[in-house]
Amino acid sequence: MKKIRQPAEPYRIKSVEPISLLSRPERLKRIREANYNVFKLDAADIYIDLLTDSGTGAMSTSQWAALMLGDETYAGARSFRKFEATVREIFRKKHVVPCHQGRVAENLVFSTILKPGQFVPNNTHFDTTRGNCLHKGGVPVDLPCKEASSIEPLPFKGNMDTERLEAFIKEQGVEAIPMVIMTITNNSSGGQPVSMANILEVSEICHRHNIPFFFDCARFAENAYFIKRDEPGYANKPIREIVAEMFDACDGAMMSAKKDGLANIGGFVALNNDMLYEQLTELLILIEGFPTYGGLAGRDLEVLSVGLREVMDFDYLDYRIEQVRYFGEMIKQAGMPIVEPTGGHALFVDAGRFLPHLPPEQFPAQGLTVAFYTEGCIRAVEIGSLMFGEEDPKTGTFTPARQELVRMALPRRVYTNSHIDYIAEVAQRIADSKESIPGYQIVRQPKYLRHFTCDLAAVNTEEVLS
Ligand code: F0G
């Protein structure tokens, strides 16, 4: 294998959590018992878990120390005041509404702002954003830029298509659009970043039409790093200044702080509008808790206040994004096509191109996901026709997903480059005998979000890779 530059970790390890590699017969037994659905595996079954980067990161010594400062007062806790000041300073908004994770922020905002039948444009809605919008009777509309579907490694493929946004506003009318959301980075589109130019353009369009402009900013610092690295004029700007410029362009933000909050739990809404703030807090008290804790413990708020600052450290971000790039290079060398360029938090392997012998209705990306487990005790997640494909109940016609991908998300500060090398070795072994990977069929499924709980079986074969 060609040697690729490996970024060295900008931290040393002070506390370790043992993980173990089950034997191959044990892995086969466990995946069979889980009916080939990796969501049904236990943590103890897994050596390297790449299911998500959400809430799975490692805290720093400063964060562990901050835990002890937690003030658990119900109303007016010191820990909240610190959190509120931190969020105000970084995200530059007047009001801060804490909540326990991102989807609650979405629920609060949509419950307050959205009337049934109204449209919510987004560069690409994340699943829970889409789900919450639909649940409140709204219509989620994805307006990704044209480059998003290109296989060329272009920068800022997470952008919104501003021409389509203008056209959409003209077509539906301002009254039908209570807000526009920009997801940074664009998780459902390969974790690709959004450029400052695009943020400013969308902001200008929204403000010209008097439409509130919000960020879904789970990975705001990773997005700012890409702007610094790839957008002309930003190379010499500190990350903090880039973040400030980004957030000055929006009216509010919803954040799942389980990502770039470097915490295991947490979220918030930050906004300027006084009336909206009043409405949000009324609902908050009903569904989450008093406005000075919002479903979190005081110690969680302390951890977040430290994490939201730490995440903007350039050395940390440089290592993080370089690690994902290194991971991508290693997997490509092993012979697997990936979505390029690599994004901020995950690698997306193109199983459709890797396993041409499997048609979409046999879920090639699930085949590859199962292979990563049986071959290496690694958990990834299918993002393809198992998650997004649809069968017409009347005609039985199958509509596949746009792409058959396997997402391998990297938890923050958790796995070293040796783990990445191990995953690449496993990928190589899989690639060497990829023709033997079977397709899968669903044998039992629930009505909604089937990928989480459905049971699967291999097609035309008694056993998987045995
Ligand atoms: N918005 C984005 C862009 C997300 O990626 C997520 C979660 C949420 C909102 C919801 O936040 O989980 O705190 O309620 N993404 C995770 C993932 C689950 O694996 O990509 P939450």
Each residue's pLDDT tens digit, 162-190: 999 999 999 999 999 999 999 999 998 88
pLDDT band for 38, please (50, 70, 90 cuts): very high
How confident is the model at residue 462, as a pLDDT?
A: 55
- The CATH number assigned to the domain with range 61-310 reads 3.40.640.10
Output the ligand 1 site: residues, CB below 6 A.
52, 54, 101-103, 126, 128-129, 183, 187, 216, 218, 256, 258, 267
pLDDT band for 429, please (50, 70, 90 cuts): very high
- Give the percent of the chain with pLDDT over 90: 91
307/446: higher pLDDT: 307
How confident is the model at residue 99, as a pLDDT?
A: 98
Ligand 1 center from residue 102 Cα (angstroms): 6
100/466: higher pLDDT: 100
pLDDT band for 7, please (50, 70, 90 cuts): confident
Confirm if 261 and 304 have CB atoms less than 8 A apart.
yes
What's 95's DSSP letter? E
Name the helix (H) or strand (E) containing 450: helix 450-453
Calculate the average pLDDT of the chain: 95
Q: What is the atom index within ligand 1 of the atom nearest the CA of 409?
A: 19
Catalytic: which of 91, 110, 119, 126?
A: 126
What angle in degrees, to the nearest 10, is found between the helix axes of 314-333 and 220-230?
80
Please say if the pLDDT value at position 446 is more than 90: no
pLDDT band for 307, please (50, 70, 90 cuts): very high
Name the helix (H) or strand (E) containing 181: strand 180-183
Longest dimension (CA), the chain: 62
Look up residue 123 and give its two tokens.
């560069």
How confident is the model at residue 5, as a pLDDT?
A: 76
The tens digit of pLDDT for each residue in 111-167 reads 999 999 999 999 999 989 999 999 999 999 999 999 998 889 999 999 999 999 999
pLDDT band for 465, please (50, 70, 90 cuts): very low
First to last CA, the chain: 27
Confirm if 296 and 266 have CB atoms less than 8 A apart.
yes
How confident is the model at residue 464, as a pLDDT?
A: 43
Q: How far apart are CA 340 and CA 421, in angstroms?
A: 19
How confident is the model at residue 448, as a pLDDT?
A: 76
Average pLDDT of span 278-283? 98
> Which amino acid residue places its CA nearest to atom 10 of ligand 1?
102
How confident is the model at residue 371, as a pLDDT?
A: 98
Q: What is the atom index within ligand 1 of the atom nearest the CA of 52?
A: 19
How confident is the model at residue 449, as a pLDDT?
A: 81
How confident is the model at residue 442, as a pLDDT?
A: 94
Active site residue 126: yes
Q: Which of 51, 126, 304 to mutate to test the pocket of ligand 1 (most atoms within 8 A of CB)?
A: 126
- Give the percent of the chain with pLDDT over 70: 98
Ligand 1 center from residue 256 Cα (angstroms): 6
Ligand 1 center from residue 128 Cα (angstroms): 7
How confident is the model at residue 466, as a pLDDT?
A: 38
Q: Which of 185, 187, 223, 269 to mutate to test the pocket of ligand 1 (most atoms within 8 A of CB)?
A: 187
What are the structural domain ranges in the chain? 24-53+313-458, 61-310
Active site residue 74: yes
pLDDT band for 212, please (50, 70, 90 cuts): very high
How confident is the model at residue 390, as a pLDDT?
A: 85
What's 58's DSSP letter? P
Confirm if 101 and 256 have CB atoms less than 8 A apart.
yes
Cβ burial 17-56 (10 Å sphere, 16+ → b, else e) = eeeeebeeeebbebbeebbbbbebbeeebbbbbbbbbbbb
Confirm if 71 and 303 have CB atoms less than 8 A apart.
no
pLDDT band for 438, please (50, 70, 90 cuts): very high
Catalytic: which of 11, 39, 74, 398?
A: 74
Superfamily of domain 24-53+313-458: Aspartate Aminotransferase, domain 1 (3.90.1150.10)
Q: Is 76 left (phi over 0), alpha (psi -120 to 50) or beta?
A: left
Kindly provide the residue ranges of all beta strands, DSSP E only, lying in 19-58, ordered along the sequence: 48-49
How confident is the model at residue 396, as a pLDDT?
A: 84
Please say if the pLDDT value at position 444 is more than 80: yes
The tens digit of pLDDT for each residue in 216-238 reads 999 999 999 999 999 999 999 99
How confident is the model at residue 461, as a pLDDT?
A: 65
